[in-house]
Structure formats: structure tokens, C-alpha cells
Chain A
């Protein structure tokens, strides 16, 4: 009943010039709110959600692209440099969006449940971590015993080369994993990929002897970044300094740079994914997902198609791994735990398995929930615990609550609840996958005479 009226209302305003006005108002409101209260996470959410009104409302595609570009390339960096935490959140959203898009190919398109997806992310990260740090010269030292004046193996600008190398290395790892296991179906495949993910993490944890490749649980640091010319920092401060209010440092600009890289990778991924999905390979993936037996009877080489999905998905994760290693300058096996794989999978499922905008929205929703909304919520509860407040109705003081029931622990519980409710009320995900409609001019309902 209520949803019907909301939908009608939405239809009402989603025509004519209304969408343009709403989108612009949303952006202006968000920007103004972030400007006036830079620390408020609500203000930040208002700004971030303007991307969704840009996606949802009907408007000219050129308008959408231009406004989206201004928002992503100018507004976000300025707001982000003003409050660097926002930029970090947005960078994380981008990283996870890219990972979700990659996993979406494997899970959503080809229907292969992969529970160890971050393994490929780790491969990319450790690839650059090893070659972009002093680790090469640390090979013969146990972790923690290396001298401090070691040189770097490669210059920081080799980063760009490794972005491309990671594609190949991660894709190769994907094929390596795929070859022995892709004869397995469904549950069995999921278990093996889970194992593979753990194997990579354990390898990273233990490859500090006999030769110290990964520096074990301590992780590798410092990892180099590509060079940032002073002139860029100066230019940025000259042009945007007034709007930001303080002088942007080189570190700030690095954050902006990695955010731009992440955006670029996402755009490339979307482009590649869409092109491939609209070709015989994409159709073959969907066919394999729908019915393996029928697909193979139509002449689709099952193993090769599954390998292609694995390799493509893996290569995207590999690129993001390199980006992560460079942006953090530090990586350790902890970042590639099983929970990360599950997290990315939940983004894909929540957003809508097989749907490109869905994967992005899923990644944004889960990341924002974890970093902003739920954290804010548990912070609020903790404050209640510190104060004299009582739970209404039962008149129970928050501070008397036992530590086992610490409200800060409700964060995961709430997240789980949200996932369950989503799957009950919207099993297809936030933006369910749709098949592309073809024009089919010659397909008339009645025969032409």
C-alpha cells in the first residue's frame, strides 16, 4: 500500500524537468551540508547518495555524464581534501566496487560460487609489495632483522607497469586455480575456492622462511608510490586552496590520486564487462550458469568459458591489489582474510547478482554501512552507556548492561539483520540484473504480407 503510493509519487516527479531540478538540488544540498558541518556523517551521506539520484532519475545521458564527472572529479576531491576521512571512505567504496564488479563476473555472470576471491587481490598486492619495496634485499633476513639502509629494487614509477603486470599475473593465477577445480560444480567448487583463498593467505603469512618473500605476519612496508611532482601540489593549492580552507599536503594529493586511479579502473572494468557480456562469451557464461548440460550440448566449451570468467575476474582484483599496496604503503596477510571474500560476495548478492550497477551499489551500501552508519550507531550506543540514560519502558540504566551485551557489538548483528531482511524482501538484490532488450525490427507479432 505504502510502497504503491511511493512508487506513484516517484513516477509523478520522474518526468519533464523535475529530475534535473531534483538531481541538482540534491547535489547542492549535499555539498552545502558537507561544507557547513564537515564532521557530520549525515551530511556526507546526503552528498554521496546524490550519485544514486543521478542514476535513478530520468535525464539526458549527456547531462548525467557531465554532472557525474563534475561530482566525481571536482566536488568529491575538494570535499575529500577538506576532510580526509571522507576521501578514505570513498576510496574504500571504489576499491570494493571494483572487487565486487570483478567477482560479479565469476558469481553473477558465470554462476561459479567463489569464496576465495580476495586471493587474487592478495596476489596483486603482494606483487607490487615485493617489487616496489626493499623486500628483494630482505630475502635473506628474518623478519625484523634487516638493516635500515637498504635500497629500493625499482623506482616508484614502476607502479604503472605493475598495474598492467598484475592483470596478467592475477589472470594466470586464476587459470592455475581454475584448471584443476573447474570440473567441480556448485558446492564443491565453492569449498575448493575457499581453500584456495586460505592457502594464499597462509602462504603470505609463512613465506618469510626459508627466503623472506612476504615478511610474514608483520607485512611489508614501506611500499613505494609513483612520484607526485611538487608542481601538481602547488597547482592544486592555487586553484582549489580557497575552497578547501587549508593547504593541501602531498599526502592529501596522494589520496586524491589513488581515488582517481580507482575510478579509472572501475570505468575500465565497467566498459570491459559490458562489452564482454554483450558478446558470445557473455551469452555463453549466462548459458553455463543457467544449465551446464544444455550449454555444453550447444557446443560451448565449458572449461574454457569458466576459465575465462575466473581469469577476467581475477585480473580486476589483481589491479586493485597493486593500487591498495601503493596507496597504503603497507600490506599484511590480515587484509586478505576469508571475511573479506565473504564481504565482497555479500556486496554482489546484496546489489543484485549479475547486475553491474547492482555490484557498485552493493559495494557502496556495505562499505558505508560498515564505515559510517553502523559505526556511528555503535558510537552512539557507547555514548549512551557512558551517560546516565536509561532504556525507556523497562527503566534499565544503560551503564548496568553487562559487557557481554556491549551495544558496540550490535554492529555486526545489525549488518546481518539487514542482509537477511534484504534477501527476504528483495531476493533479486537492490538493482536486479536485467537482460538487454534488443530492437529486433524484423520481429513483428504478425507475419508481414
Chain B
């Protein structure tokens, strides 16, 4: 059974249809990329999945249940975590605290136990802290637990956002342009990280990415969007040779030119 399935999902802003009847299925354990030119509706699609926007039509099923009518925090609690295109950390909180916020849905902490520091509370906090440190190391951050998130360098902030998303033990991880602004070495490192997240933890990953090295290297399946519609889908090899994709990226002339070359 598919982990995530959207049926004719649609989102309209005024006269603009940002996402237009997108159907797609995500199998558990897959790494899938969504690509497309700027303004193709990829981030809007993400925001519709996570409940930040409510769709104007269609159906979203996750893990066998509908996500429509759920608030974003309820969707997160069902097991979808995400990172943001423009990093959105809690800047005035420490690195560890950022990760602990990610664990929010799993912490029990009754008011009484919190006030009286009962044993259950203390144990849970200590456990959560240990787990947060582990996660921090897992994404490649060391010795910065007490640093404020805003003081981290850019690449480390991207990693911290991933750790925070992983802290909720999600079934599905949504990454919005995780390699944006990174140099080739950093890009290669995070690509490895994504693959190990899937391999170690079995987390399904859906990512939006412009860097084609990342996309072609890591994805088992690729979805191409343009003007709010899904225009193609398939394996990296299929997508690479799909004329509609090339057209969307390079314009009509490019495809024509390609045909001319073939003809001559």
C-alpha cells in the first residue's frame, strides 16, 4: 500500500492555480524528488501536504487515512516532518532545544510531573536529551549543543533543520531544497546523509531540489511539475530523456533543436 497518495489535489490562489489536479503515489522506503522550474508549484504542493494550505479540491491519504481537515500539527503528529526552503530554525534557542522541540509530539510530561519534577519527567527529559545529542551527531554536528541556532554557519543550520525534523521519528520526511546554497562538497555530504537516513531508519523521503546532481544521484523516482501540473514521472533515466521535461526546463526551442539534430 502506498504511504502517501494524492488524488487530484488542487490549490488555487485568486486566479492562479498553483497546484492543478496532481495525482501521485509514494511507496514506503522510497526516495522521491520533485523537480520543476521556479514557480511550478512544488513548495505549494508541500505546504498542501503538511496542512499549511488546505487544498481546494482532491484527496490526500497518508498511511491509510485522510489528511484533509487536519491541522498542520496533527499532520506532523501523524508522522510527516519537513524542512523549509529558507531555513526556519528557532534562532534564539540552543541547538539541543531545537531538536527537543522536534520531539514535542512524543513527550508525555503531565503538568503535575512537570511542576514536581517527578521521576518520570526527569527520566524522559534525560532520555530526550541523550537522543537529541545522538541525532545532532548523526547529522554531523558536534560540540555545538549549547550554541544558539542563529549562530551556526549556514551548512550547519541546514543539518540542524534535518535533525529537528528527524527528532519526531517521522514516517515521511519532506525536504524543501535541502542542498540550496551549499558547495559541491557539502552537497555530496548531505546527499550521503539522506541515503543513510533512509537506509538506517527506513524513513521515506520526498524532496524538492534544483541541483540535478543530487536529484539524479539519489532519487529512485522523479516527479516533474510545471505550471502547477505534474507533467512527467519516472526513473531518473526516463526523466532525463523525456521531451516534455526538457521543454519545461529549456524552452520549446531546445526540444525542436534536439529534433533537428536528430534529423540531420
CA separation between A299 and B50, bound complex, in Å?
10
Q: Mark contacts of A301-340 with chain B using CB atoms, 8 A cut-off: 1 yes-contact digit, 0 otherwise.
A: 1100000000000000000000000000000000000000
Whether the pair B97, A283 counts as a contact (CB closer than 8 A) is yes
Q: Mark contacts of B114-128 with chain A using CB atoms, 8 A cut-off: 1 yes-contact digit, 0 otherwise.
A: 110100010001000
Contact A444/B73 with A283-B97, A290-B91, A435-B97 known, Cβ cut-off 8 Å: no
For residue B19, which residues in chain A have a CB less than 8 angstroms away from its CB? none
Whether the pair A294, B88 counts as a contact (CB closer than 8 A) is yes
Give, as a whole number of angstroms, the nearest-CB distance from B95 to chain A: 9
Whether the pair B88, A291 counts as a contact (CB closer than 8 A) is yes
For residue A435, which residues in chain B have a CB less than 8 angstroms away from its CB? 92-94, 97, 146, 148
Whether the pair A280, B109 counts as a contact (CB closer than 8 A) is yes
Segment at the B interface, from A45-53, A271-279, A387-395: A271-279
By the criterion of a CB under 8 Å from any partner CB, how many residues of chain A are at the interface? 32
Which one of A286, A297, A440 lies within 8 Å of B50 (CB-CB)?
A: A297
Q: Which of A97-144 contact B (CB under 8 A)?
A: none
For residue B52, which residues in chain A have a CB less than 8 angstroms away from its CB? 293, 296-297
Judge if A438 is at the interface, Cβ distance under 8 Å.
yes
By the criterion of a CB under 8 Å from any partner CB, how many residues of chain B are at the interface? 47
Residue in chain A with minimal CB distance to B79: A299
Give, as a whole number of angstroms, the nearest-CB distance from B158 to chain A: 14
Judge if B190 is at the interface, Cβ distance under 8 Å.
no
Whether the pair B130, A298 counts as a contact (CB closer than 8 A) is no
Contact A300/B104 with A280-B109, A435-B97, A438-B145 known, Cβ cut-off 8 Å: yes
Give, as a whole number of angstroms, the nearest-CB distance from B13 to chain A: 17
For residue A301, which residues in chain B have a CB less than 8 angstroms away from its CB? 71, 73-74
Contact A296/B101 with A286-B90, A443-B145 known, Cβ cut-off 8 Å: no
Q: Which of B40-85 contact A (CB under 8 A)?
A: 50, 52, 71-74, 76-77, 81-82, 84
Judge if A442 is at the interface, Cβ distance under 8 Å.
yes
Judge if A166 is at the interface, Cβ distance under 8 Å.
no
Q: Mark contacts of B130-145 with chain A using CB atoms, 8 A cut-off: 1 yes-contact digit, 0 otherwise.
A: 1001101100001111
Which one of B104, B136, B148 lies within 8 Å of A299 (CB-CB)?
A: B104
CA separation between A300 and B73, bound complex, in Å?
5
13 contacts between A and B (CB under 8 A): A275-B117, A279-B114, A280-B103, A283-B93, A283-B97, A290-B89, A290-B92, A299-B168, A301-B74, A435-B93, A435-B94, A435-B146, A440-B146
Q: Which residues of B contact A (CB under 8 A)?
A: 50, 52, 71-74, 76-77, 81-82, 84, 88-94, 96-97, 100-105, 107, 109, 114-115, 117, 121, 125, 129-130, 133-134, 136-137, 142-146, 148, 164, 168
> A279-B114, A446-B142 are known contacts; what are 16 more A-B pairs with Cβ within 8 Å?
A283-B93, A286-B97, A287-B90, A293-B52, A296-B72, A300-B73, A301-B73, A302-B73, A438-B96, A438-B129, A438-B145, A442-B130, A442-B134, A443-B96, A443-B142, A446-B143
